[in-house]
Amino acid sequence: MKRFEKSSITIKDIAKKAGVAHSTVSLVMNDREHVSPKLREKILKIANEMGYMPNMVARSLISKKSSTVGVVFPENPHFFTITYFLMIIEGIQNACKKYNRALMFFSLDQTKGESYYQISRKWLIDLMIIMNVDYTRDISKDIQDLRDNGIYFSFLTKYLGKEKVNSVCVDNYEGVRMVLEHLASQGHKRVGYIAGNPNSADGPERTQAYKALYKKMGLDQDEELIVQGDFTFESGEREAPKLLDLKKPPTAIFAASDYMAIGAMRVIKERGLSIPGDIAVMGFDNTLEAAYVEPALTTIRQPLQEMGEKAVDLAIRSMNDESFEPQSLAIKPELIKRQSC
């Protein structure tokens, strides 16, 4: 019996053993129609027995398309150390396995004029997930270039442009409402707020929700209670003293991200104050760190893995169905009660 080296098996070898044309095997391997279910099953069985592994690189070079999902994010040297992003990536990876696609990551350096479309052409990416857009620049032309050239994509953030695109985000208004209602139920009327990155979609939206809701709920409407962070640990440490040093400090601090909340908690502890005895703290995201700080952080859970998976689902649906209309999904958050509040 002839033995095959798995790495050298080609569709011609499979075709010869199956007694069919190699073009028929090609149709099966590329999941095309025009092959009967019985013959398709026979060819796939033979391919499996022979240990056939498709050469995805060669296939990409021939078709000028890849079977890769490209995840694009703004230039950030700490991207792969931030559990918020890693939790989203887990969901993206789960979807890639479901659709038998590889996964690649690309940082977008706006200072060098890089665009999403340039990345897609350079690396033959026909399906893209766009994370954490920096809205200091207009990306509408970039988006149009992707569309005009058959590149399918989803935003993993709220899209602020006028175009109708696939996007997945959390319902920020609902999340902020849950925070303030929980704090109010505990008797807090004076709530300090550490706002998120003003150049993102989530930062300003959560701030707008905070301002709209504290008026409705009868909380103190003191502009001194709002300080500007950028979602990082460092900004939480930097901004928390401004709240603690007020003539009339807040009885609770709500930070627009867990990282800022944890940074604020460090400052509070260094001052010898107890959490939640002297001041309550709440965050937003439910990152892995939130459950392991002391005390554990009460926060708003974003279903990050689910959001990552849904972003890929939407892009794939756009690719496979020309009649599919882009969707903007706002995922419902959840209040996670722990010991910090």
pLDDT tens-digit map of 18-67? 899 888 888 887 667 778 888 888 888 888 888 777 654 455 444 445 57
- CATH (residue range 6-54): 1.10.260.40
Question: Residue 110 phi/psi, 5° resolution?
Answer: -65, -25
| Beta-bridge mates of residue 255 | 194
Provide DSSP, 189-247.
--EEEEE--TTSSHHHHHHHHHHHHHHHTT----GGGEEE--SSHHHHHHHHHHHHTSS
- pLDDT, average across residues 62-79: 76
Burial, 218: exposed, middle or buried (Cβ in 10 Å; 0-12, 13-18, 19+)?
A: exposed
Cis? peptide before 276, omega within 30° of 0: yes
Cβ within 8 Å of residue 320, ≥6 positions away: none
The reported pTM is 0.80
pLDDT reading at 238 higher than 70: yes
Q: Is 180 left (phi over 0), alpha (psi -120 to 50) or beta?
A: alpha
How far apart are the C-alpha atoms of 219 and 211, rounded to whole Å? 10
**What one-character DSSP code corresponds to residue 332?**
-
pLDDT on residue 62: 46
Highest mean pLDDT among 46-50, 161-165, 334-338: 334-338
- For CATH 3.40.50.2300, the residue range(s) in the chain are 68-170+305-332, 172-301
Task: Give me the CATH topology for the region 68-170+305-332.
Answer: Rossmann fold (3.40.50)
pLDDT reading at 111 higher than 80: no
- pLDDT, average across residues 186-203: 95
Which three-class secondary structure state does DSSP give residue 23? helix
How far apart are the C-alpha atoms of 334 and 66, rounded to whole Å? 37
Would you place residue 1 in the very low, low, confident or very high pLDDT band (cuts 50, 70, 90)?
very low
- CATH (residue range 172-301): 3.40.50.2300
- For CATH 1.10.260.40, the residue range(s) in the chain are 6-54
pLDDT reading at 6 higher than 80: no
Alpha-helical (H) ranges within the chain are: 11-18, 22-29, 37-50, 56-63, 83-98, 116-122, 140-148, 172-185, 202-216, 233-244, 258-270, 304-320
Which three-class secondary structure state does DSSP give residue 92? helix
Would you place residue 3 in the very low, low, confident or very high pLDDT band (cuts 50, 70, 90)?
very low
Handedness of CA 213, 244, 295, 86 (dihedral sign): positive
Answer with the residue of higher pLDDT: 14 or 183: 183
Which three-class secondary structure state does DSSP give residue 136? coil
